[in-house]
Amino acid sequence: MGQVLHAAPVTARGSVEVFFTPWDDAEGAILRALREARQTVHVQAYLLTSRPIARGLSELHARGVRVAILADREMERRGSNSRLAELIAEGVDVRFETRYAAAHNKIILIDALSSHPVVITGSYNFSYSAQARNSENLLILRNHPELARRYLDNWQRHLEEATAPE
């Protein structure tokens, strides 16, 4: 393991939306948040098999929003329903994490460096099962630039170790 860092607490601010599947429409909430993106979307995914979320990311890329994805390499290799190959073919920047037994982060950062960023996180994988079959949680945290920056810094730290598609 690396050095243990004790990060300073982040003071609560902004708004929080909470979703619990299968009862709440977490996927719909993610799609609504994605439609708000204007500049950048950073994704960290253990699994990305949801067609609607992949389509949302593809549409953002097509309209000029910079979309960048970090994904777990082993889950990509094992999963027959992954949408990542389609996104790569469309020109979306996808990199794979290989250092960890499981690259298990599940986050979406929308316009992380803006004054109104969105951080989406929780146990929720970006998959049909997460919405329809599993018991999952999802948080959408809005308008907290310091929190978004902390998540983006961590995302970039993972990017430095990630590999390009083969």
Q: Which residues are catalytic?
A: 104, 106, 111
- Whether the Cβ atoms of residue 18 and residue 120 lie closer than 8 Å to each other: no
DSSP category for residue 36: T
Phi, psi of 95 (to 5 degrees): -130, 155
Q: What residues contact residue 70 under an 8 Å CB cut-off, 6+ apart? A: 42, 43, 44, 45, 95, 96, 97, 103, 105, 155, 158, 159, 162
Q: Residue 35: helix, strand or coil by DSSP?
A: helix
Query: Backbone phi, then psi, for 130, in 5-degree steps?
Result: -60, -35
Which class for 135: exposed (0-12), middle (13-18), buried (19 or more C-beta within 10 A)? exposed
